[in-house]
Amino acid sequence: MKIIKSLLAGASLALVASISQAATSGNTLATVDPEADRSAMQSYFQKRFPQVALSDYVNGIYALDAPSREQWQSIEEFPPYEFDIEEGEALFNKTFANGKSYADCFANGGIGIRQNFPRWDASQGKVVTLELAINQCRKANGEEALGWKKGKIAQISAYMAFTSRDNVFDVQIPNDKAKAAYLDGKQSFYARRGQLNMSCANCHIAGAYIKIRADLPGPTLGHVTHFPVFRSKWGELGTLQRRYGGCQKNVRGVPQKTQGEKFRNLEFFQTYMSNGLVVNGPGARK
Amino acid sequence: MFSFHEDKNEEKLMRKSIIKHALLGLVLVGASSMTLAAASADQIAKGKALYLNKKKGNCIACHMIPDADAKLPGNQGPPLVAMKARFPDPKVLRAQIWDPTVKSPSTIMPPFGRHWILSEDEIDDIVAYLYQY
Amino acid sequence: MKKTISLVAALMMVSGVVAAHPFNEAFNEQRAMYGKGHSFTWNGQTYITDHPEEIAAAVVANAANATALLAAAKDQYTQVLAVDFGWTLTKNLLKSAGKALETGEFRKSMDLSAQAQYHSRMGIAQYHQSQAEWIMAVPE
């Protein structure tokens, strides 16, 4: 009976993780307040894990879980993505057939700018992710677009993140159209989907650092800072939106379109939540 | 034991035999309870398999249960212990599996019945298994 | 009995996507406790806890009926994809239903179509429910 009692105590402990106060506004363009959302998200995690420094969230689950942090640190001693950064650099510097290169498409020659993506592009009237900007640069210079999820695009993105390490994320929402895109991304993050009826938030807010079998879902705060990632499960590098699609399939939902409006808006929202944290991509993950 | 998931054919057969063997009523009580127990053992085994199967119930992903074969459980949900005490009415437990969002709107647990992740029979099997703990 | 059945199907189809409809709530509550084939009373009427898709499939198993059910299931799947809330297993259910139809396993085909159609209807319901309820999951 004592065992049963202590097990039940454990159960009630798990319930502490669920959200004690839920929002009642912020679901319309008139009421949504990105800065209030961001500070609510941060204080949620800081209340739950008071011993973890805000700046450490860029390390994802390894900020919260000491045993897996140790394993991860030993992986990072010989980073599995090192080759990809080198390849990415070579690809980045290679000139297009017309003599131009990626450097001509980006501010500051494309160096140290990861923290400004995804960005609201007023002339296109949409959110532009770093990967989308890479492919738009290629097309503008008469080159074929790259595949979205892995390979060359992930390597170029990895190199660009690498040159931006320690720069502080600063995603801007300059107008109401951008705010509408943010709101759409916010809704996607909290909306349940798939046959398993789960939202991003189910695992990465309330469910963060609680075991699903032997796996520990990471906190959404700092989620995007280390992408693209070399994921052991993939055995290769992949982009954030590759992971989005994988997550949606995991909950048995037909995945949304990579670099489609929904995923770009989701990335916009998710990255905004991590404003103030530093770029530390590319990263290594299980 | 679980009147709500008794097999219909079995019930029919039993009724037939009640008429046939009206005089042997006492013997029959023993026999029928044995039949039910056998059905239950089968259900329990099926329920256990569903509990562990990643593509089926996969309850073990989130719930600990004191069964030696249920290794490395997750803990997103409460441990499944003292089930009869916590759910004296098996229908309530069944409904909780069928759609936990009715009672806990923010739960991460999938609605196994409402989303037809498991069949109705499979849900009965899992209830039978859980009631062992 | 037949009257009851068509009534329940009509009611659920009309209420369709609105998950919080009182009849759907009552139906789900009963189905959750008793499974299929259970009778219950709602607003003075007797109903049975079978999904409208199951009721539609509970007809004689033949090529014509299996073909019609598969077409209805495919149509519902197109609709759920249109709102971007499709489920991954539905496509395979439809494929298996099609194969079973080809090989003359009409009963099997009809049951698979019923499940596929139910999945898609629930995906559409999930879309609407998500729209209405997502804000409740936001920490404040």
Residues of B in contact with C119 (CB under 8 A): 115-116
Question: For A68-76, which contacts have Cβ atoms below 8 Å and span 24 or more sequence positions?
Answer: A68/A216, A68/A286, A72/A284, A72/A286, A75/A284, A76/A284
Residues of B in contact with C114 (CB under 8 A): none
Report pLDDT for A19: 56
Going along chain A from its start, the domains and CATH numbers come out as 26-79+174-285 (1.10.760.10), 82-162 (1.10.760.10)
C-alpha separations of A214 from A5, A233, B95 in Å: 24, 14, 28
Rounded CA-CA distance A10/B79 in Å is: 8
Both C45 and C62 in a single domain? no
Chains A, C: CB contacts within 8 A come to: 80
Domain count across chain C: 2
Both C126 and C98 in a single domain? yes
Closest chain B residue by Cα to residue A252: B117
Residue A37 to chain C, least CA–CA distance (Å): 8
Residues of chain B under the 70 pLDDT cut: 1-39
Which has the closest alpha carbon to B83: B37, B33, B38, B128? B128
Both C61 and C44 in a single domain? no
Which tens digit of pLDDT belongs to each residue from C37-69?
999 999 999 999 999 999 999 999 999 999 999
- Per-residue pLDDT in tens (0 to 9) along chain A, 286 residues: 444 444 444 444 444 445 556 677 899 999 999 999 999 999 999 999 999 999 999 999 999 999 999 999 989 889 999 999 999 999 999 999 999 999 999 999 999 999 999 999 999 999 999 999 999 999 999 999 999 999 999 999 999 999 999 999 999 999 999 999 999 999 999 999 999 999 999 999 999 999 999 999 999 999 999 999 999 999 999 999 999 999 999 999 999 999 999 999 999 999 999 999 999 999 999 8
Please give the ipTM for the structure prediction. Answer: 0.88
Which chains neighbour A (Cβ–Cβ under 8 Å, 3 or more pairs)? B, C
The verdict on a CB contact (< 8 Å) between A202 and B108 is yes
Both C24 and C71 in a single domain? no
Percent of chain C with pLDDT over 90: 84
Both C129 and C63 in a single domain? yes
Rounded CA-CA distance A271/A262 in Å is: 14
- Tell me the residue range of the domain where C24 lies: 2-50
From chain B, which residues contact C within 8 Å (Cβ)? 4-5, 8, 91-92, 94-95, 98-99, 102, 105-106, 113-116, 120-121, 123-124
Q: For domain B3-130, which CATH number applies: 1.10.3720.10, 3.40.50.1370, 1.10.760.10, 3.40.50.300? A: 1.10.760.10
Report pLDDT for A20: 54
